[in-house]
Amino acid sequence: MCNREQLYSQTWDNALLTVVHLIEQEKVAYTLIGESALVIQGIRPDPICGKIEVSVQWDAFARIREVFTAYMPETTVKRKRTASFTFTIDAVQIEISCHFGTVIRTDPDRIFILRGDQKIFVKSPDAYLRSFSPTHRFYKATKKYLCKLQNSDSGLNRQAWNEEAYQAWIGRFGTPEEAAARIRRDPEGRLLRLIPYFDSKRIKGKKVMNLLGSHGEKALALTLLGAEVTVADISQENATYARRTAEALGVTIQYVVSDVLRLPEQIRRPVYDIVLMEFGVLHYFVDLAPLAQLVYDLLKPGGRLILQEFHPISTKLVTTRGKRQIVFGNYFDKSFREREVAYGKHLPSDDQVTLRKRVTLREWTLGETVTAFASTGLRVERLDEAPNTKISDIGLPKTFTLLCSKNVE
């Protein structure tokens, strides 16, 4: 960025912080919209920042206009559903608008980011992916940003999952030899809730891709039942545990250590009868579209996706404390969150160890998940929701299973 652009960018930031500060002093809800919402999140459709657009709660619109009287705002423009006025701060154009009859605080696309110590409310990237065509500069810039963020997150996740995962699985399942003995005794039992979606009598010879297959238990159970299984996962430690368990079982699985969105071309081919993903995998993706397209590309005509996941009601909204069910979150929250890596609970308690094992997650609603896979052209055949089996959680969904198929050409 040249000095002129840097100077303007700093002026733009200062103007934005001034606007936000004055609105927050009035305790009025607001959201950055348009290009300014993208820029403040690190998404730049253009080298030079455009005008700053802020939407405020409609019944406080007149009061907010008075706040900016010193900046000599232009005449308010009223339309059927909106109103707006513009002014400038240090040559930066500002537009304040409102949408009549709407409540800003309940907008599912409203998220916040931190700019230093300042919390700033903005429209989420998802809003622009839904609102604009793939050729629009906002859409392109948002996709580019999400791809960059996914690559960064994959690096952090790879580091976290390659620290002590092998030792964690020994703590959870025992040695590979002990894990192998359990799988050998009852391979169908190790598939647990997946059984209704597999015909164990017809699985022999089927090509299965287990995306994010972790320690390999499901893949190895399917292998014992006669399937030809490939596992793809980012963790070398997961692969080591799975391969040693396979060796103890006397079977072979192909385990590809890779970011699944960057699978080698010889692997990413439409040859699989089944693509399997299960439990705690979707939240590693900041954009589900590339993952859904990968699944479509892997399945041969007539092939099926079996996705089994934790229900977002239980992961995003409701928890249980004692015998009480408590609403703890926002089902529609689109924020990126940092949490302890999943296997951390199987390691000895050590604050320094725990701090190293953080991963960035994005939790998805049921609607977002189904839409992502259906949008590729996959046919949604079933969506099953399973209840929680704890008495204190009676009536709450715990998991869901999405079954899709690829049309026969």
| Nearest-angstrom CA–CA distance, 198 and 188 | 10
Residues contacting residue 228 through CB under 8 Å, at least 6 positions apart: 205, 206, 207, 208
CB 403 within 8 A of CB 306: yes
pLDDT at 400: 97
Which helix (H) or strand (E) segment holds residue 351: the answer is helix 351-356
End-to-end CA separation in angstroms for the chain: 49
- 252, two tokens: 């072979």
Give the phi and the psi of residue 109 in degrees, each rounded to 5.
-90, 5
**Identity at 385, one-letter amino acid code:** E
3-class secondary-structure state, position 101: coil
pLDDT at 3: 62
Q: Count of alpha carbons within 13 Å of 223, Cβ hemisphere only? A: 25
**Strand 82-89 versus strand 92-99 pairing type:** antiparallel
Report the sign of the C-alpha dihedral through residues 400, 161, 346, 275, in that order. positive
* 211 CA to centre of own chain: 16
Point out the residues of the chain with pLDDT beneath 50: 1, 351-355
pLDDT at 355: 43
Strand partners, 32: 54, 122
pLDDT at 52: 96
| Nearest-angstrom CA–CA distance, 18 and 395 | 48
pLDDT at 153: 82
